[in-house]
Chains A and B, each alone.
Chain A
Amino acid sequence: MKSLWLCALSLTAHEIGTTRVVAIIGEQYKIEVTTDAASLDEKLAQFGSFEDAYPRRMKIFFDGEAAQLAIARTGDVIVMTGAVPPGTKTFSLKNGWNFSTYALTVNGVTDWVDGGELSKPYSLEARAKSDVVRQYLWLGFTHIVPLGLDHVLFVLGLYLLSGKWRSVLWQVSAFTLAHTITLALSISGIIAVRAEIVEPLIAVSIAYVAVENILHKELKAWRIALVFGFGLLHGMGFAGVLQELGLPRGEYLTALLSFNIGVEFGQLAVVAGAFALVGWRWSEREWYRPRIVVPASVAIACIAVYWTVERVLA
């Protein structure tokens, strides 16, 4: 899903390497470089020790002034941290360790930058609230449609259980409430569950909902409880994405709420789409379950089982 999101940014074919740089700049800065460890070691063999050589070719600038870097490396991840001088207006970065094009994300804005080139200056000045709302609503929405096929299938699974609007309403509400809770808790750092655990479980939840659709046709209370539990999981997934995008300083809460509402709109769009396509005309028909609900649920379950295996192995 991460790679899909990156691909969407690339308009023409470019020689894009494997390096990613994510900068979160608030009052403090944290810059995380993920790069191929073997290639870096080969370069370091030529240029000197990591502590000594790395900062010479990895430069960050606040208002054009080079900053001192506190750096630490663990395998293929390099983390640089420090304080941002008060009143700083722009941030830019020059990564002289890569030759290929790499992805640079600064406070949620991602650009492709050619290795060795100075990035554009990123403004650190507070952005208008309306601007933040618009951006994060859109990010939340596109995270469901079209980027979050797994969430789409989950919501479709909820929709397919029963043609009754009460069933959809109860389930979607439970799901929303749950993922709002874990999204907020994860983003504020109160809970932290690794993506390696969350992502396969999200796939399992999709499979479960789809299988249940095949076996049952009425909404039961425990289904709502389960959907709530799965919502907790999906919220942690959303948090992973939002953490990667970064939240603008000053407008933290605005961005978080807007993203969540954007996700909501995305889900409603899926429900509305499914209703317009099949539910509206046919949900009362006798053949609705055997011809639509069951085959669609089987397909969703198959895809979800495949994802589960893929994510466990990844």
Chain B
Amino acid sequence: MVAAPPYNDSMKAFLLLAALPRAAHDLWIEPTTFFPALGQVVGAKLRVGQDLLGDPLPRSTPLINELIAVDSASRRALIGREGADPAGIARIDNAGLTIIGYHSKPSVAELPAEKFNAYLKEEGLRVPPATKSPVKDSFLRCAKTLIQSGAGGADRALGFPLELVAEKNPCALTGDLPVRLTYQGKPLAGALVVAFNKRNPDEKQSLRSDAQGRVQFRVDGAGMWLVKAVHIVPAGADWTSYWASLTFERKTAK
């Protein structure tokens, strides 16, 4: 059993306030339901924020590289109307696990060096800090969510540049959850991978991936979980960063 965190609610509120705002934000997919019936239509809400508190990101065609639903039998684009939230909808056609993925085109951020360095530190990125402002960072989102209809099924690689793959189905899991991080299809070692539950965002599990790109998380709490990782690579004098996220929900605590 995990001990209760050593602070009361008012302290928790204070910590949350102190934690905001961070230099860079997560993007994740929040489906309208994680447990649809077969044949049900599920909306994929894109959210930008932190601690799984976010703002809606409406469908924006110039940003979308791929917004897809993948199940055991098919891979198809989500349909949606420009500017709408949820950004896309998909019908659940096959029992098991349906994966919704959002792979964005790059957005360019120009950051002052201090802010860029703060974000390197926050995301555990081991590259030399910037000394000159502004720093140009093209960032790409690689977000996935796991939707369970019926039982069984497994997550799989969708082919995103940076990708988190749950190696066991987290919706019906009794042990630890092994997650694998790949960059351009190959295991990414030594990267910081963070997991937390929306109901308890202060309790983050932060682990470095091993040589196989693997980490093991304890996903014991009920509710929505986010697993995330960031990878940054030099692009000439500038940077390109990749933001992977994986969301899923557990109906009950273990």
Binds B, one of A42-50, A233-241, A297-305: A42-50
- B167-217 interface with A by 8 A CB criterion: none
Closest to A10 in B: B62
Q: Chain B binding site: helix, strand, loop or mixed by DSSP?
A: mixed
Whether A43 contacts B85 in the complex (CB less than 8 A), given A15-B48, A15-B107, A16-B60, comes out as no
Q: Is A130 an interface residue (CB 8 A)?
A: no
Please, what's the 1-or-0 string for A129-169, where 1 marks a CB less than 8 Å from any CB in chain B? 00000000000000000000000000000000000000000
B50 partner residues in chain A, CB cutoff 8 A: 99
Whether A46 contacts B13 in the complex (CB less than 8 A), given A13-B107, A18-B56, A116-B20, comes out as yes
Quick check: A99 and B49 within 8 Å, CB to CB? yes
B116 to chain A, nearest CB (A): 14
Quick check: B56 and A17 within 8 Å, CB to CB? yes
Could you tell me the distance between the alpha carbons of A13 and B57 in the complex, rounded to whole angstroms?
A: 12
Q: Is B63 an interface residue (CB 8 A)?
A: yes
Please, what's the 1-or-0 string for A45-81, where 1 marks a CB less than 8 Å from any CB in chain B? 0111000000011000000000000000000000000
Quick check: A18 and B58 within 8 Å, CB to CB? yes
Q: Is A285 an interface residue (CB 8 A)?
A: no
Could you tell me the distance between the alpha carbons of A116 and B115 in the complex, rounded to whole angstroms?
A: 13
Quick check: B48 and A99 within 8 Å, CB to CB? yes
Could you tell me the distance between the alpha carbons of A89 and B63 in the complex, rounded to whole angstroms?
A: 38
Quick check: A43 and B53 within 8 Å, CB to CB? yes
Closest to A102 in B: B55
B230 to chain A, nearest CB (A): 15
A44 to chain B, nearest CB (A): 10
Q: Is A39 an interface residue (CB 8 A)?
A: yes
B27 partner residues in chain A, CB cutoff 8 A: 15
Q: Is A96 an interface residue (CB 8 A)?
A: yes
Quick check: A39 and B55 within 8 Å, CB to CB? yes
Quick check: A13 and B21 within 8 Å, CB to CB? no
- B22-57 interface with A by 8 A CB criterion: 25, 27, 47-51, 53-57
Could you tell me the distance between the alpha carbons of A79 and B56 in the complex, rounded to whole angstroms?
A: 21
- B49-84 interface with A by 8 A CB criterion: 49-51, 53-58, 60, 62-63, 83
Q: Is B11 an interface residue (CB 8 A)?
A: no
Contact residue among A15, A16, A17, A116 (Cβ-Cβ distance under 8 Å from B21): A116
B30 to chain A, nearest CB (A): 10
B51 partner residues in chain A, CB cutoff 8 A: 46
Whether A36 contacts B56 in the complex (CB less than 8 A), given A18-B85, A99-B21, comes out as yes
Closest to A114 in B: B109
Closest to A97 in B: B55
Q: Is A108 an interface residue (CB 8 A)?
A: no
**Which of under 10, 10 to 19, 20 to 34, or 35 or more describes the interface residues of B?**
20 to 34
Quick check: A42 and B13 within 8 Å, CB to CB? no
Q: Which of A17, A48, A56 has the most CB of B within 10 A?
A: A17
Closest to A98 in B: B55
Q: Is A188 an interface residue (CB 8 A)?
A: no
B35 to chain A, nearest CB (A): 20
B63 partner residues in chain A, CB cutoff 8 A: 13, 15
Quick check: B48 and A100 within 8 Å, CB to CB? yes
Q: Is B108 an interface residue (CB 8 A)?
A: yes
Could you tell me the distance between the alpha carbons of A14 and B63 in the complex, rounded to whole angstroms?
A: 7
Whether A14 contacts B54 in the complex (CB less than 8 A), given A47-B16, A96-B20, A99-B49, comes out as no
Q: Which of B54, B55, B85, B108 has the most CB of A within 10 A?
A: B55
Could you tell me the distance between the alpha carbons of A39 and B50 in the complex, rounded to whole angstroms?
A: 12
Q: Is B4 an interface residue (CB 8 A)?
A: no
Contact residue among B17, B54, B55, B62 (Cβ-Cβ distance under 8 Å from A47): B17
B56 partner residues in chain A, CB cutoff 8 A: 17-18, 36, 39, 100
Contact residue among B13, B25, B53, B107 (Cβ-Cβ distance under 8 Å from A14): B107
Quick check: A36 and B83 within 8 Å, CB to CB? no
Q: Is B156 an interface residue (CB 8 A)?
A: no
Could you tell me the distance between the alpha carbons of A290 and B25 in the complex, rounded to whole angstroms?
A: 59
A13 partner residues in chain B, CB cutoff 8 A: 60, 62-63, 105-107
Whether A17 contacts B17 in the complex (CB less than 8 A), given A12-B108, A39-B56, comes out as no
B53 partner residues in chain A, CB cutoff 8 A: 39, 42-43, 46
Could you tell me the distance between the alpha carbons of A134 and B93 in the complex, rounded to whole angstroms?
A: 57
Quick check: B13 and A47 within 8 Å, CB to CB? yes
B119 to chain A, nearest CB (A): 13
Quick check: B55 and A115 within 8 Å, CB to CB? yes
B67 to chain A, nearest CB (A): 14
A16 partner residues in chain B, CB cutoff 8 A: 57-58, 60
Q: Is A19 an interface residue (CB 8 A)?
A: yes
B153 to chain A, nearest CB (A): 29
A14 partner residues in chain B, CB cutoff 8 A: 107
Would you give 17 A-B contacts (Cβ < 8 Å), ordered by A?
A12-B107, A13-B106, A13-B107, A14-B107, A16-B58, A17-B56, A36-B85, A46-B16, A47-B16, A56-B17, A57-B20, A96-B20, A99-B48, A99-B49, A99-B55, A100-B55, A115-B55
Extra contacts besides A13-B106, A47-B16 (10): CB < 8 Å: A3-B83, A12-B108, A15-B63, A15-B107, A17-B55, A18-B58, A18-B85, A19-B55, A56-B17, A100-B57
Sorted from nearest, which 7 A-B pairs have the closest CB atoms? Answer: A116-B21, A99-B49, A17-B55, A100-B55, A13-B62, A100-B48, A99-B25
